[in-house]
Structure 1
Amino acid sequence: MSILNWSSLSLFSSKPLPHCKGRISVGAITKVLLRDLPPGRIVVLQHRDLDEVAAQELIDQKVKAVINCEQTMSGRYPTHGPLMLLQEQIPIWEADSAVFEAFKMNSEITVYEDRILLEDQEIACSLFTREKWLSMQQQANERTTQLMEHFIDNTLTYAMRDMHAVMEPLPQIAIQTNLEDRHVLIVSRGKGYKKDLLAAKAYIAEVKPVLIGVDGGADALLECGYLPHLIVGDMDSVTDKALSCGAELVVHAYADGTAPGLSRIDALGLSAHVLPCFGTSEDMALLLAFEKRCEVLVTVGARTHMIDFLEKGRAGMGSTLLVRMKVGARLIDIKSIGILYKSRGWTKEASSTLFLSLFFIALSLFQLHWIVKRVAHVVWKLGGEG
């Protein structure tokens, strides 16, 4: 008679097995949570329409699972963020926003398919599946035209409101970093920013541009082995390590001079310039470099289209449209420069290509030499017969 062990008995047990268990990290603002997120955590978020940049950061941090106390996808606009997580075998559960406060940092939880055990509480949840992502994505695609019309209206409305502000120069701040007649590389935390920055190594090595990190873009520079000269922004998504790296700091302030990010700088015992400017921190970085008479502006991870802006909670791009009109003659995206410098780099693939080219040229010359000899031989024979 065979003996059943405990693992065999579990097959016949009616008690469901947990899908996931572990320690949690909790954050209502995803980019703030990501600043110092330990690997292997179950993260609890409040992130409506999970965007691709946040999804990639969660993947890079090797999170175990995501519990979202918001709609992971609302169907308002298309996004591949949730699908990116699912493709990496990172499960997503959705819970009601009202239960977010029940989750405490560093608590241990156990997650089943339809509920979460948190100490002595049981919280209802539902698994976000690929089928749900596909349904929401199709729904969003059907609304694209209507969404675009609203986005254009919003963009033009705010562009009309801010057009006089963009014509005025920024308030003068005495930064020590010299930008005049220099290439300036501005790194923002946008889609594909890490990959694009890695592709720009040859350009950075040869030109040695001034490096400006916009908030979390400063951390991307450090990760790639570069020390930013300037860090600008609201100072919400950049790490303490980056802020303390020795870069010159410029805090983005509202038009009235209020700068919420300055309190964090003060808490770290650092000093910073305060620069009032309309629009986004990325807009401010572009205007600052432009007005400091840089020669060329190169952007990495810059927002370029409607979905980029919607994912950042902006229903239009009025300020960015105006700023790009103002600085446009000097503005280049890193993808253009990356292609140029990649083609100039001496890589293994380039060596192979050259070898094959020379081989086929030699082969062609050999064939041509053989053909000429054959023709000469035929001509000689015909002449002899004549």
Structure 2
Amino acid sequence: MGKKVWLGSVSHMAKIAADRKTKHLCSRIQPFEVAVVDHADLDEMAALSLLQANVRAVCNLSPFLTGTYPAEGAKRLLEAGIPLYEVQDQTPQMIDEVDGALGMVRKNELWIQTEDGWKRKARLSKVSEQELERRWQEASERLDEVLSTFIDNTLSYARAEKEWFLRPMKRPKLRTQMEDRHVVVVVRGRHYREDLRMLATYIRDYNPVLVAVDGGADALLENGYCPDLIIGDMDSISDEGLRSGAEIVVHAYSDGSAPGEERVEQLGLSYHLLPAPGTSEDIAMLLAYEENAKLIVTIGTHSTMIDFLEKGRKGMASTLLVRTKIGSRLIDAKGASLLYQPRWTWNGTGLLVAATLVPVMAALTIHPVARHTMQLWWMQWSSWAF
């Protein structure tokens, strides 16, 4: 075949990891493997996960940017130097056929190694910075139109779901006590790492209830915290997170079906089932509210149109209804960090006083006039005391 080129690398071949869901792929892909995904408008969180996995390159069966809205993912990957390719003539079975195979690119064609030798799988188109910028500008110019449709969808679903959110939730009997306590709801969304670091002192001082939404449990474990409660459909949390000892609430659809129920049962874990419309993070906040939490602090939650479009949702009805209902008891992590002042403790005060006195005493000891004055003062005090 002559000179072999693997996604921008000369004389190099690499293993392929392919999956229809990017978050599932990121949990198993190995460093320097090539990711094959089917992810239109790749979002920023997916891109960050791929970068953290140290992928060599990314092939996408869908456009990285469709022009619907300015998704951040492709820009992040190109800025990090990751080659991006879009597959032009894929087959429905392509994901299964290339996963785990050894592959290469030759003349913008994807080839994989089979028992019968090298086999051409698809034609590729490399995504350039110029092409990505053109699509980005198109998407930015359409934002007003997209926002209008997004608002219409939000209001339409809000009218249909408002009765459910207006009445008290039929909540499970939890062992986790939230009444009159601070609650932190953690979602593995944008900037969750920075938010967790920012709230470290607050978490230490107030010891809030830590409620993880799905993969938020892994985010807490990564930062040295153990979740008290996990709620979600369990599609983006690790087995380690589920086995962390936290109380588990499986979020089900309104009709009672719950895709995450089977996984929890296979792990032999006890759980509660909570049927409800909306997103798991909205239900987590509403559950804390219904349990009479004193304050609800959110980390990494989705609250903007771009956030929801990246999640594949065309509106944010449940988020609008839940945040309207909770009101003043809800605060974002960044707001909490600005309002919160660390508590003074005797230990901290003692350390501060000691740290202040050390250089002062050192200066008095070294300076001859100061040392003589201290000696005279000590003699006078000794004669008076004794």
Which band: TM-score by shorter chain? 0.7 to 0.9
Specify whether residues 272 and 291 from structure 1 end up closer, same or farther in structure 2 by C-alpha distance, changes over 3 A only: same
Letter in 1 for 2:91: A
Aligned to 2:91: 98
Whether the 8 Å contact between 1:46 and 1:68 is mirrored in structure 2 is: yes
Aligned partners of 1:230 and 1:249 also within 8 Å: yes
Amino-acid identity (%) = 43
SS across alignment from 1:327: helix
Equivalent residue, structure 1, for 2:370: none
Whether 1:121 and 2:119 are equivalent positions in the alignment is yes
Deviations 1:6-42 (A, max 9, x none): xxxxxxx984644243112211011222233333321
1:157 maps to which residue? 156
Tell me which residue corresponds to 2:134: 135
Q: Paired residue for 1:73, among 65, 76, 97?
A: 65
| 2:36 pairs with one of 19, 41, 44 | 44
Q: Is the 8 A contact 2:18 2:96 kept in 1?
A: no
Unaligned runs of 5+ in 2: 345-351, 357-386
Structure 1 residues 254 and 127: CA distance shift in structure 2, 3 A: same
How many residue pairs match? The answer is 336
Residue deviations 1:63-89 (CA, integer Å, cap 9, x gap): 111111111110100122111111111
TM-score by length of 1: 0.83
Match of 1:247 in 2: 246
- Post-superposition offset of 1:305: 0.8
How many Å apart are 1:61 and its aligned residue? 1.4
Residues 83-117 of structure 1: CA distance to partner in whole angstroms, max 9, x if unpaired? 11111111111114426335443221113461112
Matched, 1:216 2:209: no
CA distance in 1, matches of 2:194, 2:306: 19
After superposing the two structures, state which structure 1 stretch, 101-110 or 298-307, moved more: 101-110
Contact 1:218 1:242 in 2 (8 A): yes
Q: Deviations over 1:201-242 (max 9, x none)?
A: 111111111111101111111101100011100100111110
Kept in 1, the 8 Å contact 2:202–2:342? The answer is no
Task: Structure 1: give runs of 5+ residues left out of the alignment.
Answer: 1-12, 346-350, 356-386
Change (3 A) 1:225 1:238: same
One-letter amino acid of the counterpart of residue 98, structure 1: T
Q: Which moved more, 1:304-313 or 1:13-22?
A: 13-22
Q: Residue 323 of structure 2 corresponds to which residue in structure 1?
A: 324
Matched, 1:111 2:105: yes
Query: d(CA) in 2 for partners of 1:115 and 1:344?
Result: 61
Whether the aligned pair in 1 keeps the contact of 2:58 and 2:85 (CA below 8 Å) is yes
- 3-state SS in 1 of match to 2:91: helix
CA distance in 2 between partners of 1:37 and 1:14 (Å): 29
State the match for 2:56 in structure 1. 64
2: CA distance between counterparts of 1:342 and 1:137? Answer: 41
* TM-score calculated relative to the size of structure 2: 0.83
Q: Which residue type is aligned with residue 232 of structure 1?
A: I
Distance (Å, rounded) in 2 between the aligned partners of 1:17 and 1:240:
37
Higher mean alpha-carbon deviation, 166-175 vs 134-143, is at 166-175
SS at 2:17 equivalent:
strand
What do residues 283-325 of structure 1 show as CA deviations (whole Å, max 9, x unaligned)?
A: 1101111111100000001111101011101111111100111
Partner Cα distance (1:137, 1:344) in 2: 46
Would you say 1:31 and 2:31 are equivalent positions? no
Equivalent AA in structure 1 for residue 266 of structure 2: A
Deviates more, 1:97-106 or 1:119-128: 97-106
Out of 21, 46, 52, the residue aligned to residue 54 of structure 1 is 46
In the alignment, what sits opposite 1:279? Answer: 278
What's the RMSD between the two structures over aligned residues?
2.2
* Counterpart position of 2:79: 87
- Secondary structure in 1 matching 2:190: coil
Q: Contact (CA 8 Å) 1:22, 1:41: kept in 2 or not?
A: yes
Task: Provide the residue aligned with 1:173 in structure 2.
Answer: 172
The letter of the residue matching 2:196 is: L
